[in-house]
Every structure is written in structure tokens, then in C-alpha cells.
Amino acid sequence: MSEHYTSWGRHMAARQQIRRPAWVDELDLASPDKTILTYGNGRSYGDSCLNDGGILVDLRKLDHFIHFDSTNGILRCEAGLLFTDILSLIVKQGWFLPVTPGTRYITVGGAIANDVHGKNHHRAGTFGMHIKQFELCRSTGERLVCSPTQNPLLFNATIGGLGLTGTILWAEFALKKIASPMIEAESIRFETLDDFFELSAESDKNYEYTVAWVDCLAKGKAQGRGIFIRGNHASREKTDTAPCTTRTLSIPAELPISVVNPFTLKIFNEIYFKKHPRHPKKHSSHYAPFFYPLDAIENWNRMYGKKGFFQYQCVVPVDQARQAISELLQHIASSRTGSFLAVLKMFGPARSPGLLSFPREGVTLALDFANQGQKTLDLLESLDNVVAEYGGAVYPAKDARMNSGRFKQYFPRWQEFQTYIDKNYSSSFWRRVMEVE
């Protein structure tokens, strides 16, 4: 069966043969003449979850819980299980995901293969750092349990390994104890990039979760203005038992053109910035709107119209981050493109064991750009020039266009990683950055 599977940016064409095993016993990774790749839930933005011309193994039916130790907070589940389903089980029993990205519609396998990070990177590192073990199936049918002590090299290559070392069947990981589903949050309006750095340094000491929205169109003195958001899990005494009231809206169909344009962006950014008072504002929030604001709009990626969009996420080293982020924002503001939600966050010093893991100590900037063809590609290239000059890196999970030279510079352990790739596995992303047909 050949089907059109896409990724979240909705602009990459790929045709692949789809396999959809319902049980582990149905998983067939044999393929004499085509390459294989596992598909999680397609929440990667570019081509790292696509395998044009090859086989895509859609693992979403392998979504069973295997064992939950609710005393010690250890969960073992199949790799196709979504974070949202895990949260439905564990939160009421006083546990939370150790690390979660900005959407809960990702699978455990996808979270490991991209070694995802969240608002607590400065405290908890990446998702891969909480994995105790997983089972990896290679295309030969061989099944290997991998952990920091069993097949440790393959363990390290698979964490952040872009799905190229085989198919993860199940994983076991440690959860975080919580007293309440609520978050005690605080929003603080800041006027400059220097304020962001000050707020980050102060907040990362006392807050588990920190992130900032930055106005990507602001220029001159207003450059770097934004809203800083920080929070901690509420303690039981403060618990507000209010249920989550987030209403799910939906963009039911593809819009003919993008509604994100210089006009709407400018209006949104101005209103969003001004709506936050100058003084810090405390509020209690259910975990869902705090961690997953975008999940409240189903298919929000359709907002960008039929040409789709690019997401760009980079990290730059901490010592020169102030200058590098300022240059990046300058390029973006001059282009008059960008997104409603441009995110700035400090990554902490913890290093994941993953050979190709993206997070490293520094400041990360993430935002979307409506796909305007060459104009957008040129802008992203200019951002890459800044990132490369400052010794930073670009996140493969969000990428659809970085070139081979850049990838190798950003991920200097790529050659070591290559030795662990399953010989039948490949992806559109990997062929692009390795320059193979």
C-alpha cells in the first residue's frame, strides 16, 4: 500500500509503502530492496520522520501499557503509545512525565528518537536521560534490550538517533512525583534581551519550568521584548481541583493561503505583549494549557495554508548567546516573517548520552515561518550562517533544509553514530544530510 504520509510542516512530499502492525508479532522489518523507517505520530516538522520511496512502519497501534509501578513511578509501555494517553493514566496517581515537549501528541518512540526536551531542560535534561531500558528490533529480526549497562553503545546511539538504529518496541522510564495536576505559574513582561537573560538566571534557580515568548518582529530598542513564563507543580495545599477548561478548537480544512502574514503577526504580537501587565502576574493553571497551548487548536498547522511552513529551532552557546540571539532576531525582524509563538529558552549544562542529541548548554530559539519558497529558504540560510559562526546547532526534528556541511558541523559525532545505523534503515532527512540518493 503506497500512501501519502506527511510531517507537521505539511510541505514535504513523500510517498512510501506503509506497514501498520497491530501486534509486535505482526512487525515485519524484512525488506530486500527498499529502506525502512519507523513513523511515530508525525509531529516532527520536516523530513526526519519520512522515507520517500521506501517503507514507513507506522507504529501507532503498538500503544499498550505493559507495567506501571505506581509506588516508584516507573512506567513500561509500547513505543507507539502517545504522551496524552500516558498522562491520562499517571496524573491522577500523582505522577508526571519527566520531560515533555510542547505537544502531548507524540509517541514514546518518537520522544526517544529525537531525545525531546521541554521547559525543564535546565533541571531535568532531555527525555532520553530518564530512560531505564528499551527493546530495539533490527531489520534482521534480532531483538536487543538496551540500557546504560546492556548494549550501552546502541542505547546511546538510539537516544536522539533519528530512528535509524532500528525500531524501538517498548521502553521503560522514570516518572516525576507530583502532588497536583495544577501548575503555580507566573508571567512577567520584559522589555529587552538583557532582561530575558536576567530573568532566566534568576528563575532557573527556583522554578522547574521556564520559557519565554519573544516578539520576533520588534526592532531597535524593542528588540528582544517578550513575556517570561515560569512555574512549579502546585503543592497539595494549594491545589485547585478545577478541571482543565481548555476548549479544543479546530481548523477543519486546509486554508487556501496562510493567515500568518506581516499584518496579522504585527497585530497579534502587539496585543499579546500589551495584554500582559508590566508587573509579574501569578496564576494557577491546569498542566494542559501550561505545557500544551497549541494542542488546544486541532490541526493548527493548517493555518499556514496549502504551502505549509518551516519551523526553525537552533541553540547557541551560552557565552556568546546575547550577541548571537540579537543577530538572529535582527534577520527575522527585517524579513517581516515569523510566527505568533516565537520561543526563547535557556538549556542547562546536562548532557544526554545520545550521540546526536540536539540540546546542549546555551540559549534556544524556535519559531515558524510560512513557506514562501526561495525567500524563506534564503532567510533560513542566513540564520544558519549566524548559528554556525557562533558554534551552535539546528534541531533535526524541526528541520527540512539544512545542508550536509552544516549538519556535520552541528553534530560532530555523526561518523561514530553511523556505525550503529541498521543497514536497511534510512530517512529522507538522512539521505539529504549525507548527500546520498
Ligand X SMILES: Cc1cc2nc3c(=O)[nH]c(=O)nc-3n(C[C@H](O)[C@H](O)[C@H](O)COP(=O)(O)OP(=O)(O)OC[C@H]3O[C@@H](n4cnc5c(N)ncnc54)[C@H](O)[C@@H]3O)c2cc1C
Residues in contact with ligand X by the rule CB under 6 A? 8, 37-44, 48-49, 59, 79, 101-103, 106-107, 109-111, 113-114, 116-118, 162-163, 167-168, 294, 397, 427
The vertex-125 CA angle with 347 and 134, nearest 5°, equals 145
> Residue 138 CB, nearest distance to ligand X (Å)?
11
3-state SS assignment for residue 47: coil
**Minimum CB distance to ligand X smaller for 77 or for 182:** 77
> Residue 295 CB, nearest distance to ligand X (Å)?
7
> Residue 374 CB, nearest distance to ligand X (Å)?
25
The vertex-309 CA angle with 34 and 249, nearest 5°, equals 105
- Could you identify the residue written with the cell 546511546? 156
**Minimum CB distance to ligand X smaller for 39 or for 197:** 39
**Minimum CB distance to ligand X smaller for 146 or for 182:** 146
3-state SS assignment for residue 310: strand
**Minimum CB distance to ligand X smaller for 95 or for 429:** 429
Q: Which helix (H) or strand (E) holds 343?
A: strand 343-347
> Residue 278 CB, nearest distance to ligand X (Å)?
28
Distance between CA atoms of residues 366 and 381, nearest Å: 15
> Residue 8 CB, nearest distance to ligand X (Å)?
5
The amino acid that residue 63 corresponds to is D
Exposed (0-12), middle (13-18) or buried (19+): which is 256, by Cβ within 10 Å?
exposed
**Minimum CB distance to ligand X smaller for 43 or for 225:** 43
> Do the strands 15-19 and 55-58 form a parallel or antiparallel pair, or are they unpaired?
parallel
> Residue 212 CB, nearest distance to ligand X (Å)?
13
Residues in the chain, overall count: 437
**Minimum CB distance to ligand X smaller for 100 or for 223:** 100
> Residue 368 CB, nearest distance to ligand X (Å)?
10
3-state SS assignment for residue 23: coil
Tell me which residue of 102, 99, 65, 98 sits closest to 80, measured CA to CA.
65
Q: Which helix (H) or strand (E) holds 173?
A: strand 167-174
Nine cell digits for residue 49? 520522520
**Minimum CB distance to ligand X smaller for 115 or for 184:** 115
